[in-house]
Structure 1
Amino acid sequence: MRPVALRTPRLVLDLPAPADADLVTRYCQDPLFERCLTTPWPYSRADAEAFLTTHVPHSWASGIEPTWAIRRHRGGILLGVISVREAQHELGYWMGAEHRGIGLMSEAARAVAEWTLGGGIQGASTVFWRAVVGNVASARVARAVGFRRIEPDDAIVPTRDGGTLPAWYAVREATIDPRAHASWGDVLGVIR
């Protein structure tokens, strides 16, 4: 699969590049990442370089995990990263702390979900999401993008050390389920 750039009203999603290594390193040293993500911990410059020079190109070439840099404009600084893992069409994302809270991740996630469901990944009829229980910011993004919360019997997410933690799960189809927003009530409260 060849890398595909996506555009939204405020963002460009393009290929993460080796020049992004300093920002990836800094962003991924956020203590929130230790609690909520499976990125290596402590996160080093070598981890960022391996991600950008090996993982990202291989993931696009093989089609197993298209991964985008989130930027305000072409050639702009890296704000965050978003990907979709092909096997389950699972959406994953993170944003640098100083860029959170203004709806950028929701905008990027909507673009990637719609690309996936619109034929970007052949045969994808759903996009899956999961996060460690308590990762409210990620859940807010999923709700904003139209994911419907589901409760499988074994709702877990793997940890970096091979263990598991309880998780929240959600799914999105091409047409947003009318029950999607209300499905988040017990996690995020009811917002009209």
Structure 2
Amino acid sequence: MTDPAELRTERLVLSVPTADDVDAITEACQDEAVQRWTTVPSPYGRDAAENFVNAFVPAGWEAGTARTWAVRVRRPDAATELVGMVGLEGIRDGAGEIGYWLAPAGRGLGLMTEAVSAVLDYAFDPDHAALVRVQWRAYRGNRPSARVARLTGFRFEAVRRLGAMGRSGREDEWTAAILADDPRSPADEWPAETLTTTTT
């Protein structure tokens, strides 16, 4: 069993989502972009959020195969607001895959870049996940997600033609990865089609 870990950054607290987050998760997952670019159920009802926090998240931590954090913005009154989710899945043999989404209220502030950097610190720490490789995948066209990956050091690897299953059939997929000893700085040589000026 892997004990859930809380991660903190300058602006964020990353902690395990709980039953108290069900309403916020349900609302965020109605967003058109979350529906388009992620694999959350569609339509997304409260029961999906309940299953996520009560079954999927604890099972992943228990088995050590997935580690999921709610992305929470710190407020001046010491409270936090859930604005997204980030996690490592498919953890096996020193590798895993990162995934993330942001609610509209959290976009344009660099929050997910900050969150992913914290998760990579955890992923590569020998005292925590001790991974040697983290993979990123996205449907072709998801430039905001690609921006986060590029800024946090992921190296672009391929366009997999019809490599992913979307809601309406197969779609092209972008893939990238970062190794434990790679520089944690913005990576070069990403295709022009992946680039965007939007901050995420």
TM-score (ref. length: structure 1) = 0.89
| Farther-moved stretch of structure 1 (175-184 vs 78-87) | 175-184
1:113 Cα offset (Å): 1.2
Distance in 1 (alpha carbons) for counterparts of 2:80 and 2:66: 23
Which string of whole-angstrom CA distances, capped at 9 and with x for unpartnered residues, describes residues 30-52 of structure 1?
11122211110010011001101
Could you tell me which residue of structure 2 aligns to residue 139 of structure 1?
146
Q: Is the 8 A contact 1:149 1:183 kept in 2?
A: yes
Give unpaired runs (5+ residues) of structure 2: none
Could you tell me which residue of structure 2 aligns to residue 121 of structure 1?
129
Distance in 2 (alpha carbons) for counterparts of 1:155 and 1:118: 34
Is 1:84 the equivalent of 2:64? Answer: no
Is 1:168 the equivalent of 2:169? Answer: no
Is 1:67 the equivalent of 2:68? Answer: yes
Aligned length: 189
Q: Is the 8 A contact 1:21 1:45 kept in 2?
A: yes
Give unpaired runs (5+ residues) of structure 1: none
Q: Give the number of the structure whose residues are more often helix, by fraction.
A: 1
Q: Is the 8 A contact 1:127 1:172 kept in 2?
A: yes
Match of 2:158 among 143, 148, 151: 151
Q: Is the 8 A contact 2:143 2:196 kept in 1?
A: no
Distance in 2 (alpha carbons) for counterparts of 1:84 and 1:155: 23
TM-score (ref. length: structure 2) = 0.85
Which string of whole-angstrom CA distances, capped at 9 and with x for unpartnered residues, describes residues 89-115 of structure 1?
100000111111110000000111121
Could you tell me which residue of structure 1 aligns to residue 23 of structure 2?
22
Summarize the Cα distance change of 1:25–1:175 in structure 2 as closer, same or farther, 3 Å threshold. Answer: same
Residue identity (%): 36
Structure 1 residue matching 2:80: 3-state secondary structure: coil
Q: Is the 8 A contact 1:148 1:179 kept in 2?
A: no
1:64 Cα offset (Å): 1.1
Q: Give the number of the structure whose residues are more often strand, by fraction.
A: 2
Structure 2 residue matching 1:24: 3-state secondary structure: helix
Match of 1:96 among 69, 92, 103: 103
In the alignment, residue 188 of structure 2 is paired with which amino acid? A
RMSD between superposed Cα atoms in Å:
2.3
Could you tell me which residue of structure 1 aligns to residue 13 of structure 2?
12
In the alignment, residue 27 of structure 1 is paired with which amino acid? A
Structure 1 residue matching 2:190: 3-state secondary structure: helix
Structure 2 residue matching 1:184: 3-state secondary structure: coil
Summarize the Cα distance change of 1:165–1:189 in structure 2 as closer, same or farther, 3 Å threshold. Answer: closer
Could you tell me which residue of structure 2 aligns to residue 39 of structure 1?
40
Which string of whole-angstrom CA distances, capped at 9 and with x for unpartnered residues, describes residues 134-164 of structure 1?
0000000001101010016667233358x53
Distance in 1 (alpha carbons) for counterparts of 2:195 and 2:99: 23
Distance in 2 (alpha carbons) for counterparts of 1:190 and 1:26: 26
